Chain A
Amino acid sequence: MRDLGQIIKGSVTVQRPQRIHVNVAATDLLSTVHSLKLSGFNQLTLLTAVDWIDEQQFEVVYLLYSRTEKVVAIVKARIPRGDPEVETIEDLYPNAHKYEVELTEMFGIKVRGNADSGKPFLLENWQDLPPMRKDFDSIKYAGEHYEARHKEVTSD
Chain B
Amino acid sequence: MTREYELNIGPNHPGIPGNFSLHLELEGDTIVRANGDSGYLHRAFEKLMEHRLYLQNLGLIPRICVPEPDINEAAYAMAIEELMGVEVPERAKFIRTIILEAARAESYLLDVGGFAATLGLYTLMQWATGDRDYMVDIFAKLTGARIYHMFIWPGGVRRDVPAGFEEDILGWVNYMKGKLSDYDGVFFKNSMFLHRSKGIAVITREEALSMGVTGPNLKAVGVAQDVRKDEPYAAYPYLEFEIPTMTEGDAWARTIVRRLELEMSLNLIEQAVRKMPKGPVMAKMPNPFKWYVPKGDAYARVESSRGEYGFYFVSDGGPKPYRVSVRGVSMAHMYPLAEKLLIGQKLSDASQILNSLGICPPEIDR
Q: Which residues of A contact B (CB under 8 A)?
A: 15-16, 18-19, 21, 42-46, 48, 50-51, 61, 63, 67, 70, 72, 74, 93-95, 97-99, 120-124, 131-132, 134, 138
Chain A CB within 8 A of B318 CB: no
What is the minimal beta-carbon distance from B214 to any residue of chain A, in angstroms? Answer: 8
CA distance A94 to B334 in the complex (A): 12
A67 touches B332 (CB 8 A): no
By a CB distance below 8 angstroms, the chain B residues around A94 are 210-211, 336
By a CB distance below 8 angstroms, the chain B residues around A61 are 312, 325
Chain A CB within 8 A of B257 CB: no
25 sampled A-B residue pairs with Cβ under 8 A: A43-B212, A45-B301, A45-B310, A46-B310, A46-B312, A46-B325, A48-B312, A50-B323, A63-B327, A70-B230, A72-B299, A74-B299, A93-B210, A93-B211, A94-B336, A97-B335, A97-B336, A98-B331, A98-B336, A122-B38, A122-B39, A132-B47, A134-B50, A138-B47, A138-B51
Other-chain residue from A19, A97, A98, A138 in contact with B299 (beta carbon distance below 8 A) = A19
CA distance A116 to B170 in the complex (A): 51
Chain A CB within 8 A of B1 CB: no
Chain A CB within 8 A of B163 CB: no
Other-chain residue from A63, A72, A95, A134 in contact with B335 (beta carbon distance below 8 A) = A95
| 10 extra interface residue pairs, beta carbon distance < 8 Å, beyond A45-B301, A134-B50 | A18-B231, A21-B297, A42-B210, A45-B308, A46-B310, A94-B211, A94-B336, A95-B331, A95-B332, A99-B331
Chain A CB within 8 A of B27 CB: no
Chain B, interface SS category: mixed
Chain A CB within 8 A of B225 CB: yes
Nearest to A59 among chain B residues (CB) is B314
CA distance A108 to B310 in the complex (A): 24
CA distance A67 to B227 in the complex (A): 11
A46 touches B327 (CB 8 A): yes
By a CB distance below 8 angstroms, the chain A residues around B47 are 131-132, 138
By a CB distance below 8 angstroms, the chain B residues around A48 are 312, 325
Q: Which residues of B contact A (CB under 8 A)?
A: 38-39, 42, 44, 46-48, 50-51, 82, 209-212, 214, 223, 225, 230-231, 296-299, 301, 308, 310, 312, 314, 322-323, 325, 327, 331-332, 335-337, 365
By a CB distance below 8 angstroms, the chain A residues around B223 are 67
B332 touches A16 (CB 8 A): no
By a CB distance below 8 angstroms, the chain B residues around A46 are 299, 310, 312, 325, 327
By a CB distance below 8 angstroms, the chain B residues around A50 are 314, 322-323
A138 touches B44 (CB 8 A): yes
By a CB distance below 8 angstroms, the chain A residues around B210 are 42, 93-94
